[in-house]
Amino acid sequence: MGPRVRVQLLPPLLLLLLRLEACAGARSFQVDYANNCFRKDGAPFRYIAGSIHYARVPRPAWRDRLRKMHMSGLNAVQVYVPWNYHEPLPGLYDFAGDRDLGSFLDLTVELGLLVILRPGPYICAEWDMGGLPAWLLWKPDIVLRSSDPDYLQAVDSWLGVLLPRLRPRLYQNGGNIISIQVENEYGSFSACDYDYLRHLLATFRALLGPDVLLFTTDGNSPAELRCGTLQGLYATVDFGPGPNMTAAFAPQRQYEPQGPLVNSEYYTGWLDYWGEAHASTRPAQVAQGLQDMLQLGASVNMYMFQGGTNFGYWSGADYKGRYKPVTTSYDYDAPLSEAGDPTEKLFAIRTVIGKFQALPAGPMPPATPKFAYGAVPLRKLAEVLELLDVLCPAGPIRSRFPLTFEAVKQAHGFVLYRTRLPRDLWAPAPLSSPPSGVCDRAYVLLEGEYQGRLERDGQTTLNLTGRAGASLDLLVENMGRINFGTNASDFKGLVRNLTLDSALLSDWLIYPLDVDTAVARGWPPRSPPAEGSRARPGPALYTGSFQTPGIAWDTFVKFPGWSKGQLWINGFNLGRYWPARGPQQTLFVPGSLLSPSAPNNITLLELEGAPPRPMLLFLDRPLLNQTVSPHPRAPLPPP
Q: Which residues are catalytic?
A: 185, 265
Q: Is 123 helix (H, G, I), strand (E, B) or coil?
A: coil
Interatomic CA distance for residues 330 and 334, integer angstroms: 9
Can you tell me the distance from the alpha carbon of 276 to that of 413, in angstroms, rounded to the nearest whole number? Answer: 23
Candidates 4-12, 66-74, 243-251, 390-398; binding stretch for ligand NAG (CB under 6 A): 243-251
Rounded CA-CA distance 48/251 in Å is 21
Q: How many CB atoms lie within 10 A of CB 168?
A: 10
Q: Is residue 315 within 8 Å of 273, Cβ to Cβ?
A: no
Whether the CB-CB separation of 29 and 116 falls below 8 Å is answered with no
Number of residues in contact with ligand NAG, rule: CB under 6 A?
26
Burial (CB count within 10 angstroms: exposed 0-12, middle 13-18, buried 19+), residue 337: buried
Binder among 35, 221, 246, 351 for ligand NAG (CB under 6 A): 246
The CB-of-545 to ligand NAG minimum distance in angstroms stands at: 6
In this chain, which stretch among 47-55, 331-339, 481-489, 535-543 interacts with ligand NAG, using CB under 6 A? 481-489
Residues 596-615 that bind ligand NAG (CB under 6 A): 598-601
Binding flag, residue 33, ligand NAG (CB under 6 A): no
Q: Should residue 247 be labelled a site residue for ligand NAG when binding is judged by CB under 6 A?
A: yes
Nearer residue to ligand NAG within complex by CB, 231 or 527: 527
Shortest gap between Cβ of 68 and ligand NAG (angstroms)?
20
* Distance, CA of 289 to CA of 265 (rounded, Å): 12
Nearest to 232 by CA among 243, 219, 216: 216
- Return the number of the residue (471 or 486) whose C-beta is nearest ligand NAG: 486
Using rule CB under 6 A, residue 190 touches ligand NAG: yes
| Per-residue CA distances from 126 to 123, 244, 475, 480, 614 (Å) | 9, 27, 25, 9, 32
Residue partners of 336: CB distance under 8 A and separation at least 6: 65, 68, 69, 305, 306, 342, 343, 346
- Residue 258 in the binding site for ligand NAG (CB under 6 A): no
563 or 570: CB nearest ligand NAG? 570
Find the helix packing angle between 283-295 and 344-354, rounded to 10°: 20
Q: In what order do the strands lie in the sheet with 615-619?
A: 374-377, 615-619, 555-558, 586-589
The residue from 221, 258, 351, 595 that contacts ligand NAG (CB under 6 A) is: 595
- If binding is defined by CB under 6 A, does position 629 make contact with ligand NAG? no
Is 102 near ligand NAG (CB under 6 A)?
no
Minimum CB distance to ligand NAG smaller for 304 or for 594: 594
Q: Which is nearer to ligand NAG, 157 or 497 (CB)?
A: 497
As a whole number of angstroms, the distance between CA 576 and CA 584 comes to 10
Q: How many Å apart are CA 318 and CA 481, to the nearest integer? A: 8
Q: Which stretch binds ligand NAG (CB under 6 A): 35-43, 259-267, 482-490, 557-565?
A: 482-490
Q: Of 89, 250, 284, 530, which one interacts with ligand NAG (CB under 6 A)?
A: 250
Q: Which one of 60-68, 251-259, 266-274, 485-493 is the stretch in contact with ligand NAG (CB under 6 A)? A: 485-493
Figure out which of the listed residues 428, 529, 561, 630 binds ligand NAG, where binding follows CB under 6 A: 428
Q: Binding to ligand NAG by residue 526, rule CB under 6 A?
A: yes
Interface residues with ligand NAG (CB under 6 A) are 190, 244, 246-247, 250, 401-402, 428, 430, 461, 463, 486-488, 496-497, 504, 526, 570, 595, 598-601, 625-626
